Amino acid sequence: FGFIGKLLGIPTLLEVNIPILEVRFGKKKVLYKILKIFQKAHFSLYQGLITQTESLKNILQDDFKKEIVVVPNGADPQLFKPQPRSDEKRADLGLGQEERVIGFVGSFMPWHGLQDLVDAFERVCQKDNSVRLLVIGGSRDQIGQLIEGNRDKRALKKIIFLGEIDYPLIPAYLDLCQVLVAPFNTKRDEGRRKLYDKYGFWWCPIKLFEYMAMARPVVVSDVGEITAYLDGAGLTYREGDTRGLAESILGLLNNLEEASRMGERGRRLILEKYSWELHARRIEQILNALA
């Protein structure tokens, strides 16, 4: 597209959301250097780059001397929104009327930190036995491996594994939750750990914004720029600190008024700053400025 745009005199933008060469070829130094040359040539065909975080912008600046604009991800507030209470859905999951639910959606990749959440949930259940953990995502094999690796935990029987479900169904399940968690832990990703240590956490997790759109308080690790996006819509804890994660969850479960305030603030932030519609308008403005 960059070549066609240059040929026709049409301004073009390239969106880059991962330092692909560093991730895939960083250890193959000769190949990496060769591909770097091609990447710089490719980038030069565009009038600007769009990326999702300042961390990633800093990585890309070595290869692109024109404008790089940071446009964070977002959520669809028409899909992800509070919904009428569903006693039927609670019953389908075997939830008691008084049981409260912690929610997680996402990959079982190590850096998503699900193991940290399971460890923290064990601590939560020692203090409050009326809590369940709802996990959305993961293949049957991945769920089986997680269960097998945590057989010694009493709280395991209080975890509900939904597995992979259709995307439009996710909000109805998130609405059953009182607290939503994104426990990212880059230290669990041995393959990328050196890159994270060097560049920082370059992701802008979509699920964070989807959680916020549900008007639920969010608990997240303090990686990357997440704290700035959260902006009072939840609590953060030190990356990898499962005790801190458990205390944050319990703190919200034990202070419903504060939890509700944070949830409402999160949804307001999505409507005012982080909806996909606003995301698209921002990109349109950038394109118009280049025209």
What mean pLDDT do residues 138-152 have? 96
What mean pLDDT do residues 189-208 have? 89
Does 2 have pLDDT greater than 70? Answer: no
Query: Which residues lie across from 135 on neighbouring strands?
Result: 104, 161
Q: What is the average pLDDT value for the chain, to the nearest integer?
A: 93
Does 218 have pLDDT greater than 80? Answer: yes
Contacts of 254 (CB under 8 A, 6+ apart): none
- Condensed to tens digits (0 to 9), the pLDDT of residues 50-84 reads 999 999 999 898 888 888 999 999 999 999 999 98
User: What is the token pair recorded at 239?
Assistant: 């990356």
Domain boundaries, the chain: 2-70, 87-274
Euclidean distance between CA atoms 216 and 258, whole angstroms: 11
- Could you give the count of Cα atoms lying within 13 Å of 74 in the half-sphere of its Cβ? 23
What mean pLDDT do residues 16-33 have? 83
What mean pLDDT do residues 23-32 have? 80
User: Residue 111: left if φ>0, alpha if ψ -120 to 50, beta else—which one?
Assistant: alpha
CATH architecture of 87-274: 3-Layer(aba) Sandwich (3.40)
- Condensed to tens digits (0 to 9), the pLDDT of residues 76-122 reads 999 999 998 888 899 999 999 889 999 999 999 999 999 999 999 99
Residue 285: what pLDDT?
Answer: 94
What mean pLDDT do residues 20-41 have? 84
Residue 8: what pLDDT?
Answer: 66
Contacts of 15 (CB under 8 A, 6+ apart): 49, 50, 51
- Condensed to tens digits (0 to 9), the pLDDT of residues 260-286 reads 999 999 999 999 999 999 999 999 999
pTM of the model: 0.94
